[in-house]
Amino acid sequence: MFAPVYLDHNATSPLAPSVREAMLPWLGDRFGNASSRHEYGRAARKAIDEARSRVAAAVNAHPTEVIFTSGGSEANNLFIKGVAALMKPGLVALSAIEHPCVREPARQLIRSGWRCEEIAVDTAGRIDLQAFDRVLADRPRMVSVMLANNETGVIQDVATLAAATRKCGGWMHCDAVQALGKIPVDFRALGVHGMSLSAHKIQGPLGVGALIVDKRVELAPLVAGGGQERNLRSGTENVMAIVGFAAACDVVLAERDQRSARLAALREVLEQGLVAMGAQLFSADAPRLPNTSFFAIPGVDGETLVGRLDRAGFAVASGSACSSADPAPSHTLLSMGVDPDLARAAVRVSLGAGSLRQDVDGFLVALGESLASLRTMTAMAV
């Protein structure tokens, strides 16, 4: 089977071998329901408890602060909707570059009497501090700012923003899905009240994530029923996926710093080649995740280029895979003031554990050939 070189790790990452090994027993003899009182159920409960401790350790949280979910989207929804359900309506503020699974639940609160306001970013995708101060002056009840953007890779100073939000009496939430595994993520140091994680971004399984939530925060559950996960997320636990999440966190702690340094060096090679081809790099001067490069070739449609590169053997993205059905230009880039035509040309390369120098070199060759072919076709059509 034809297998393109995979350069789309911000969309999802391949399962690490050690994670797969940890999960396999739970596809066979270990099949108990963690709510059962017999030995099979007790074994499942023990596995979940151990996994909770390991996920907590990966982000410097207490095990009781870890609520397992189906992924980052559910974790984001659980915090935003869960807080709002038990609070008098007020202002919910979020950065202008949040993922749709933060923007949409925040906007849904408007129907319940809440006001929703976006916090502007500068041309590099960093929070505009003056705009942030203006929002805080309106005393928001809840603020959400992602730690690292899934498209540009830009890292926000969440600790400073959280301290200011706390001072104003608001709850601070952080989507740390893209940051985990690439940079240090410390729940205590960030000072947030809630933080969302997802396993499949760190070589764990699809379909499992977590909300790390301060014990002082009261939440209403999204899913009511059997009372699992501190009565905040009812439903029989996905033991296999939860065990895999913990195993992936172990990989993160063991390999993150060395891997990040290696990927940053690879990205430097990539971006030097991109600039030589006339590419415009987005957020190049801002602190970014070490694996992420978001660029555009002016005049070349991003979706068309991604298709060409796929056929040439390289899997990349034209933006966020989570909203790839939307043909509109990147919301993140538009919020940064990028011209819509240039935003439509955007392509994202995100490196991962298996990425090699030969992959980057091969990608640059394929990109050059694809651009030459597209420009030839354009010239013939004139």
**Cβ count near 11 (within 10 Å):** 19
* Pair of tokens at residue 140: 């928001």
pLDDT at position 206? 98
pLDDT of residue 225: 92
For residue 143, the model assigns a pLDDT of 98
pLDDT value, residue 319 = 60
Identify the CATH assignment for 17-250 out of 3.40.50.620, 3.40.640.10, 2.70.70.10, 3.30.1330.10. Answer: 3.40.640.10
Residues noted as catalytic: 322
Task: Give the DSSP letter of residue 306.
Answer: H
**Residue 359: its pLDDT value, please?**
98
Tokens of 51: 């996994």
- Placement of tokens 């709850």 in the chain: 171
CA quadruple 128, 134, 139, 141: dihedral positive or negative? negative
Is residue 77 within 8 A of residue 98, CB to CB? The reply is no
The CA-atom distances, in angstroms, between 208 and each of 69, 175, 196 are 6, 15, 11
Residue 19 is inside which H or E element, if any?
helix 17-23
The DSSP result for 76-143, as a single string, is HHHHHHHHHHTS---EEEEETT--HHHHHHHHHGGGGT-EEEEEPB-TTS-B-HHHHHHHHTT--SEE
* Domain ranges within the chain, ordered by starting residue: 5-12+256-377, 17-250
Q: Report residue 198: phi and psi, to 5°.
A: -145, 135
The DSSP secondary-structure symbol of 317 reads B
Sign of CA dihedral 333, 314, 1, 207: negative
Task: Tell me the angle at which helices 100-108 and 72-85 cross, rounded to the nearest 10 degrees.
Answer: 20
Q: What is the CATH number of domain 5-12+256-377?
A: 3.90.1150.10
pLDDT along the chain (382 residues), means of 10: 88 97 95 94 97 98 98 98 96 98 97 97 98 97 98 98 97 98 98 98 98 96 92 95 98 94 98 97 97 97 96 87 64 97 97 97 97 75 48
